[in-house]
Structure formats: structure tokens, C-alpha cells
Structure 1
Amino acid sequence: MNTINFEERRLRLNEVIKMVGFKRTLIYQRIKNGTFPKQRKDGKIAYWFLSEIQEWVNQSKQSSD
């Protein structure tokens, strides 16, 4: 059986801000509090995986209903 390895889309901070509607400061405060997905780094570049942000958005919508 062949395994297909799809590389997941990486989001930069500006894209995350647009998706969640938070400003930079609030995103980093929530990361520190453990209530937002932690960024990863590739050298000096910080990024988030699209699937983790989408999952966080979905969980936030469910908890607010």
C-alpha cells in the first residue's frame, strides 16, 4: 500500500489574524494561556497549520453555542 504524504498549508500571522479576527497581541496572549494553537517556527519564520486553526475556530463556535 502506498502512503501519500500531503504537505499541509502553513499560515503566517496575517492570515491567522484574518481567519480568527483577533489582533496579534491577543493571539500571543492566548498562546501563552494555552487557549490558542501554538505557532511553529522554520528558522525565524513563525507559522500555524491551517487544520489546527480551523479546528480551533470550530471548537470556539461550538463552545459559544
Structure 2
Amino acid sequence: MSRRELVILKGKGDQPDRIELEESDLPMLAKAMEMAQQNSSYPSRLLKLEEVEALVGLKKSAIYQRVKEGSFPPPVSVKGTTAKRWREGEVAAWIEDATAS
């Protein structure tokens, strides 16, 4: 049975993860990826304002202005803290919508 290498890319500056898989693992991996895509509305991370700024290329005032206008996803409160965070999936969807032709 042949082996395949899967490369998982991460953010800038990080070295990619490399995982060796058996060819028989590929259908299971494909199914897992399909399920992850279907559940993409579930946030994989909560982003800090600085991360959102870097992702969308806008500064704090522009982001909050768009939140006020309803054209950008609002932050959520993190229980037990005063912290505000953005759901990664919502920000990603906004980026997709903003860059759609």
C-alpha cells in the first residue's frame, strides 16, 4: 500500500505540518474535510481585534463603524471577562462576500 504526505498550511511564518497517511486513509480524510466545510458556521477560533484588523485590512474605527452600520459581524462577549472577540467563521464569510466578483 502506498503512503501519501499531507501538508497542512498554517499562518504566515509557521512551518507547515506534514502527516503521512496510508492511501486507505484518504476517503476518511475527504469525509472529515467535507463535514468541516458543512459546519463552517461553527467558529474554530475567537479572534482578537488585532487579528481581525490584520485579516480584513481595516483599523479599529472602520471595523466598529461597519459593525454599527450592520455591514460587519459584531464581536461577541467572552463569559466571565470584559473581552470582545470575533468568530473566525463570520469574519471569513465577510471576507468572502467583500471580495466576491
**What TM-score do the two structures reach when normalised by structure 2?**
0.54
Please identify which structure carries the higher helix content: 1
How far apart in 2 are the matches of 1:54 and 1:32? 19
Sequence identity (%): 33
**Partner SS for 1:48:** strand
**Aligned residue pairs, count:** 58
**What TM-score do the two structures reach when normalised by structure 1?**
0.83
Per-residue Cα deviation, 1:1-43 (whole angstroms, up to 9, x for no partner): xxxxx86210010000000000000000000000000000113
How far apart in 2 are the matches of 1:7 and 1:34? 20
In structure 1, what is the equivalent of residue 59 of structure 2? 23
How far apart in 2 are the matches of 1:33 and 1:22? 15
Please identify which structure carries the higher strand content: 2
Larger Rg: 2
In structure 2, what is the equivalent of residue 54 of structure 1? 92
Task: Quote the offset at 1:47 in angstroms.
Answer: 0.2
Unaligned runs of 5+ in 2: 1-41
Q: Which of 25, 46, 49 in structure 2 is aligned with 1:13? A: 49
Higher relative contact order (CA 8 A, sep 6+): 1
Cα distance change on mapping 1:7 and 1:24 into 2, 3 Å: closer
The 4+ residue runs of structure 1 with deviation greater than 3 A are none
Amino acid at match of 2:94: W
- After superposition, the CA RMSD in angstroms is 1.5
* Residues 1:41 and 2:41 aligned together: no
